[in-house]
């Protein structure tokens, strides 16, 4: 597991400040499920990250590149609910948002989860089945 250093004094240990939000990127050697990722993040005192703006998603992508990380997929804190794709405890994600990978999200029947997918160095949201696995996760505290 790779954990990166934090900005001093602004966030919990191991978290960094990106666009005013304390985030921690965890990259695993073994693939991890959404439920495992969420559980680990909660043990760190946070939850899977909410990235409600294109600017925050781009800031995360820039930070990952700057720190020589290259995950193809990481879990974030959003899911498909009966009322649509939504961030945890927060706003819905517009189906027309340019944050989605082209031709996404696919309808999953209200139980889908959201990955950030690295496509050609650009990060996009992708809706996937809850049984999918990813290389890591982004935690928010």
- Written as six digits, the tokens of 128 are 């996937």
* Residue 1 DSSP label: -
Domain ranges of the chain: 16-140
Q: Model confidence over 6-52: pLDDT tens digits?
A: 444 589 888 999 989 999 999 999 999 999 999 999 999 999 999 99
pTM of the shown model: 0.90
Superfamily of domain 16-140: Mannose-Binding Protein A, subunit A (3.10.100.10)
- Written as six digits, the tokens of 93 are 């994600």
User: What is the separation, in whole angstroms, between the first and last Cα of the chain?
Assistant: 19
Whether 141 and 43 have beta carbons less than 8 Å apart is answered as no
């Amino acid at each position: 597991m790779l954990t990166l250093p934090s900005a001093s004094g602004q966030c919990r240990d191991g978290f960094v400040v990106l666009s005013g939000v304390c985030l921690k990127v965890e990259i695993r050697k073994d693939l991890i499920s959404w439920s495992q990722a969420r559980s680990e993040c909660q043990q760190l005192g946070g939850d899977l990250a909410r990235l409600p703006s294109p600017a925050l998603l781009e800031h995360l992508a820039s930070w990952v590149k700057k720190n020589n990380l290259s995950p193809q997929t990481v879990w974030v804190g959003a899911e498909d609910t009966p009322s649509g794709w939504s961030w945890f405890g927060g706003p819905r994600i517009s189906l027309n948002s340019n944050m989605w990978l082209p031709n996404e999200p696919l309808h999953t029947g209200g139980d889908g989860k959201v990955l950030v997918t690295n496509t050609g160095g650009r990060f996009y949201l992708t809706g996937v089945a809850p049984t999918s696995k990813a290389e890591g996760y982004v935690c928010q505290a």
